[in-house]
Structure 1
Amino acid sequence: MVQDWYIVTIQALQNLWQLFLTFMPKLIGAIIVFVIGWFIALGVGKLVAKILNLIKLNQFFARGGWDEALEKAGLKADVAGFIGAICKWILVIVFLLAAVEILGFIEFASFLGQVIGWLPNVIVAVAIFVVAVILADIVEKIVRASVEKTKVGFAHIAGVIVKWSIYVFAILAILLQLGIVPYLIQMLFAGLVAMLAISCGLAFGLGGKETASDILDNLKKKLKGE
């Protein structure tokens, strides 16, 4: 009886040791792949940020006054660094997926594959938000100046309403891009588009055409550094 238990225990330990010997090369390979991938991702992220700084992307946003608008919306004004960070983390996830596949974790690898497939939607959503912040800043100035010209008051309120309407519009577009409640979002999206079209039409009808032209001319001069 004691001998049987001894044999069973020895066989179990041998099987465990065999599994360990089989798994260790995979683990070492996965660690090497991920560590190399981490340094590559870090380098690419810094390189992208450096290139964008060389073409003066941050200065471009600063000239238009959009860095302040982004900061008010909760986004750091270092646009080049932000884009570099996105590139870095995309590569980190890609190399993590490669490491997980080496280890043979099929379900986790499948999950990471779905995350990578979803990343373009997230990037587009971020782009929509940035464009919305910039557009809201420009349109708010146009509407506020247009209403001030009519001397009916409430120029500040009108500007804030239009700005937040664009924010809501952007949020709906982002949710639609991410596939969250698509049918409801499409209905709200259509309604908001109609409302914005009417609001912009009224603003231009109240003398906003000249104001918009002046604001856009000033913006062009700022972007050119004049």
Structure 2
Amino acid sequence: MEQIDSWHSTILNSLSDVGRMLGAYLPSLLGAIAVLILGWLLARGVQALILRLGEGLDRFASRMGWRRHTRRLAVQHTPAQILSAVMFWLVLLLALTLAADVLGLPGLASGLGKLLSVLPALFGAITIFLVGFLFANVVREAIVRVSSSGHAARGILVARLLHGLILAISALIALGQLGVDVSLLAALIMIAFAALMLAIALAFGLGARGTVTNMIAAHYLRRVYRIGNRVRIGDIDGEVLEFTPTTVLIETEEGVISVPAHWFEQQAAMRVDLEPNDEMET
């Protein structure tokens, strides 16, 4: 009998302790649940508001080719959807932090607080890189579009170089936003890009020497000859039909011939529609 009384007393004491613990923690637990519910409702409200206000942002991104450019990044959502989702989880994480603090869990609250302090920088870095990625693609497409068919290869090369440079700068800025020291990396990228541009400039300069020579010659030929003048240059005899930036179009009996402008300086060119004493060589 005494043993039963002892068990009964132990059970009552345990239930009493549990009751006191529940009485002590129940307000905190209810408060934490209330904070989570309010936080979830607030997060949903913020998400809906951003989706509504972000319609203009989505239209602008669509005009900039958002879906076309972000397909390779496997991004299936619009900017407003991404922003609303990020803000939803930020608000919910803030509610979790407050709930942990209400429950008297300082370790959990501190960890969530540190995560909250990092997320804005991370979100900013991702945003910077995405904007840079879009801008780089737009610049590349614009350069390729305006490049003439005769210089399409050069236009594509320049477009790719600028695309890579903008991406590199965007990545550096994004890393700097995260607190990473990118000074050495930035210096290396700038040195490499400068060396590459110098090599390309030299290649273009050497390759375009003939073009530049013809452009200069064509400039001075316009002062000496006029459309309709009859000229003889080497075996070519005909009438000046048109001046282009680098050539002279001459209409002969066989057809229209495009003569490089510098030929007029290197060979004996004669206007045959003048009097004999007015003939000239250039």
> What TM-score, normalized by structure 2, do the two folds share?
0.59
Q: Distance in 1 between matches of 2:90 and 2:199?
A: 44
1:188 and 2:190 equivalent? no
Aligned to 1:75: 75
Q: CA distance change for structure 1 residues 191 and 170 in 2, over 3 Å: closer, same or farther? A: same
Aligned to 1:107: 107
Answer whether contact 2:137 2:163 (CA < 8 A) is retained: yes
Deviation at 1:14, TM superposition (A): 2.2
Q: CA distance change for structure 1 residues 8 and 152 in 2, over 3 Å: closer, same or farther? A: same
Fraction of identical pairs, as percent:
23
Aligned to 1:136: 136
Matches of residues 1-226 of structure 1 in structure 2 within 5 Å? 2=3, 7=9, 10-53=12-55, 56-141=56-141, 144=144, 151=151, 153=153, 156=156, 159-160=159-160, 162-179=162-179, 182-183=180-181, 185-196=182-193
Deviation at 1:87, TM superposition (A): 1.8
Answer whether contact 1:66 1:137 (CA < 8 A) is retained: no
Q: Distance in 2 between matches of 1:200 and 1:45?
A: 46
Q: Distance in 2 between matches of 1:140 and 1:47?
A: 34
SS in 1 for 2:100: helix
Deviation at 1:34, TM superposition (A): 0.7
Aligned to 2:261: none
Deviation at 1:187, TM superposition (A): 1.3
Deviation at 1:147, TM superposition (A): 7.6
Q: Distance in 2 between matches of 1:29 and 1:12?
A: 25
What is the count of residue pairs matched by the alignment?
202
The one-letter code matched in structure 2 to 1:108 is: L
Q: Distance in 2 between matches of 1:196 and 1:138?
A: 20
SS in 1 for 2:74: coil
Gaps of at least 5 residues in structure 1 are 207-226
SS in 1 for 2:61: helix
Q: Distance in 1 between matches of 2:50 and 2:201?
A: 41
Deviation at 1:130, TM superposition (A): 1.7
Aligned to 1:224: none
Answer whether contact 1:176 1:186 (CA < 8 A) is retained: no
Gaps of at least 5 residues in structure 2 are 205-282
The one-letter code matched in structure 1 to 2:26 is: M
Give per-residue Cα distances to partners, 1:158-202, cap 9 Å, x unaligned. Answer: 6445434543443343233223xx34x331123224445666788
Q: Distance in 1 between matches of 2:25 and 2:51?
A: 39
Answer whether contact 1:137 1:163 (CA < 8 A) is retained: yes
Q: Distance in 2 between matches of 1:147 and 1:198?
A: 24
Greater mean alpha carbon deviation, residues 109-118 or residues 3-12: 3-12
Q: Distance in 2 between matches of 1:204 and 1:121?
A: 39
| Larger relative contact order (CA 8 Å, sep ≥ 6) | 1
The one-letter code matched in structure 1 to 2:39 is: G
Answer whether contact 2:64 2:138 (CA < 8 A) is retained: no
RMSD: 3.5
SS in 1 for 2:54: helix
